[in-house]
Amino acid sequence: MTKIALVLSGGGARGISHIGAIKALMEQGIKPDIISGTSAGAFIGALVAYGYSPDDILNIFLKTKFLRFLRFGFSLGGLLRIDQAEGILKKLIPENAFEALKIPLVVTTTDIHAGTEVCFRTGELAIPILASCCLPGLFKPIHFEGKDLVDGAISHNMPVAAIENEADYIIGIHCNPMVIQKSSRHMHAITYRSFRLAMRGKAKASLDRCDLLIEAPDLYNYNIFDFTKTQELFDIGYNYTKEFLAKNEVKI
């Protein structure tokens, strides 16, 4: 029997599109045997691994005002604090342990001092997931197990390596597409696009190792804080994946 791995990238609010993509996959009978995620992908991956359906997860995002939980906290460590979101995770997964998940999950974070990836798959669940979402400069690093941890996307925004030896078929869902765009003279636009180009270049090797890669181009027009557009982002992931599977023969 083919063992399927699902790899979910980071991307802030754009990660909501993962939920729609997963729903489309499941409607075709495609379900993961192991999940690897970073940042938003780790958060959503944990809910899927615990047993929530894509529709359940969509409703959670629609009902939860995530921006309210990104508490402003001016400090040397970062502009925002993400720790209030810990209560959400513990409410959704009361056991707060990797061992409570129905599907094995690997969460990727980054040790900000060593500059290396740190993966978690056992023990406490909420803190590694929150650490995986801590984008440096915006969020204060989370100290856990003797390390200061930040966004896993810094080291691996498409964490294929963490599980590729444990699966026969790898499905990657990447929510940070690049599109051809007219040049801009606005410094903010140039800086933002340069950052996304750098992130994609770093992720390219992992993207190439996916047997099936789902990447909706329309996501380019959304930013990491677009949580008010939850339904739109879900629909983009769902509709693109449904059409993609209809046009491409997937043999697993």
Q: Which residues are catalytic?
A: 39, 151
Nearest 5°: the CA angle 218, 210, 131 is 75
Residue 169: φ, ψ to 5°: -145, 125
Collapsing DSSP to helix, strand or coil, 89 comes out as helix
What's the CA gap between 31 and 201, in Å, rounded? 29
Per DSSP, 173 falls in state: E
What's the CA gap between 42 and 50, in Å, rounded? 12
Q: Which of 11, 28, 8, 18 is nearest to 108 (CA)?
A: 8
Per DSSP, 152 falls in state: G
Q: What is the dihedral of CA 11, 67, 73, 111, to 10 degrees?
A: -20
C-alpha distances out from residue 229 to 9, 21, 63, Å:
19, 16, 12
